[in-house]
């Protein structure tokens, strides 16, 4: 303003009609200053003890309604399905969420102790089960076919009966698959 010529001022008149073509219904869009991943992480950590997120965190089985709630949260409330797919790298919804919120250590410890008391595992087998638990904590999930790959494939021969092992693995995976 200080550089405007104060002695010579022209009056400029404009005459145009401004009109709104269409007013969208619903709430006004709010600007998103965080990227999708950060919005999801913040929301999930903040709500780790509520609803479907708590179920995933506590290894509780999910229902169809839970899956729909999760889709609504991740694909509508926090962003779009396209944003989710870009960030999730093909992971299922439950696995993606569990990678962020993790598993409650008390729940996983309780599950581990149940298996130890139910079966008579030797120390090497117990160490193998610990390896599975750590894998789930890092990756959010484990499936039975993962036991055929590294780092598990070299240790499968320590079990004469693999059914308890697969039951242990299925306990993790079944809680987030429908």
Q: What are 105-128's pLDDT values in tens digits? A: 888 889 888 888 888 888 999 999
Residue partners of 32: CB distance under 8 A and separation at least 6: 39, 79
Model pTM score: 0.71
pLDDT at 31: 57
The enclosing H or E element of 85 equals helix 81-88
pLDDT at 78: 92
Range with the lowest mean pLDDT among 23-27, 53-57, 133-137, 159-163?
Answer: 23-27
Nearest to 53 by CA among 93, 92, 85, 106: 93
Domain ranges of the chain: 36-101, 105-174
Q: Is the pLDDT of residue 175 over 80?
A: no
> How does pLDDT run across 31-67, given as a tens digit for each residue?
556 789 999 999 999 999 999 999 999 999 889 999 9
């Amino acid at each position: 303003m200080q550089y405007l010529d104060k002695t010579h001022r022209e009056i400029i008149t404009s005459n145009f009609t401004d009109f709104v073509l269409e007013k969208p219904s619903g709430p006004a869009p709010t600007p998103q200053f965080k990227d999708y991943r950060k919005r999801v992480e913040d929301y999930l950590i903040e709500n780790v003890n509520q609803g479907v997120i708590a179920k995933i965190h506590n290894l509780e089985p999910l229902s169809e309604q839970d899956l729909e709630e999760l889709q609504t949260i991740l694909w509508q409330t926090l962003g779009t399905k396209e944003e989710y797919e870009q960030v999730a790298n093909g992971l299922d919804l439950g696995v993606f969420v569990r990678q962020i919120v993790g598993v409650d250590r008390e729940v996983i410890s309780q599950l581990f102790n149940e298996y130890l008391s139910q079966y008579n595992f030797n120390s090497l087998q117990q160490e193998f089960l610990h390896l599975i638990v750590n894998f789930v904590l890092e990756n959010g999930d484990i499936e039975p076919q993962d036991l055929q790959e590294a780092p598990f494939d070299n240790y499968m021969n320590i079990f004469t009966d693999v059914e308890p092992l697969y039951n242990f693995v299925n306990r993790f995976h079944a809680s987030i698959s429908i």
